[in-house]
Amino acid sequence: MSIHEDIRTQMVVAMKAKDSVRLETLRGLISSFSNESVTLGRTPKDQLSDDEAIAVIKRAVKQRKEAIEQFRAGNREDLAENEEKELAVLNPLLPAAMPVEEIEKIAIAKQTELGLTDKSKMGILIGAVMKETAGKADGGDVKKIVENLF
């Protein structure tokens, strides 16, 4: 079963369980899938591939994290809590993140391969590691690891 179909199934389960937070989060995600499908030049009813669906979910997770940060900065704990609940629904939908040790091995190998020793070339190394991990690693983790290498 594709991720897209799985989320539709989970939405039906949430409806039956009357889990409003989960239901609204999954409905929003399906709406984002439709928008992404249109952006890619397909019809809204077309299903996304698993990689495309994961990209949409990652974008939604990032939006929630940024919203939580903004709400906390504005002393709106009530809104931050709602975003955290939605984030708790979205996080399990993502594949398991690559362990930090594995990212570190890839970063060291890429640094050696590219011969980068200057801190000003850090962005090149981050880009190379992100490409190598093919979206399986968190960008923040990659950045921290690369910063520690210089």
Q: Mean pLDDT, to the nearest integer, of 19-37?
A: 92
The DSSP line for 101-138 is HHHHHHHHHHHHHHT---GGGHHHHHHHHHHHHTT-S-
pLDDT (0 to 100) of residue 60: 93
Q: How confident is the model at residue 65 (pLDDT cuts 50, 70, 90)?
A: very high
* pLDDT tens readout for residues 93-126: 887 778 888 888 888 888 888 887 777 878 888 8
**Which carries the bigger pLDDT value, residue 133 or residue 81?**
81
Sign of CA dihedral 21, 9, 98, 57: negative
pLDDT of residue 100: 82
CATH number of the 3-93 domain: 1.10.1510.10
Given 3.20.20.70, 1.10.10.410, 3.20.20.100, 1.10.3720.10, which CATH number is that of 100-149? 1.10.10.410
pLDDT of 3 > 90? The answer is no
- Residue with the two structure tokens 């979910």: 57
DSSP letter, residue 38: H
- Average pLDDT of the chain? 87
**In Å, how far are 19, 44, 135 from 5, measured between CA atoms?**
19, 14, 21
User: Torsion over CA of 88, 55, 25 and 98, rounded to 10 degrees?
Assistant: -10
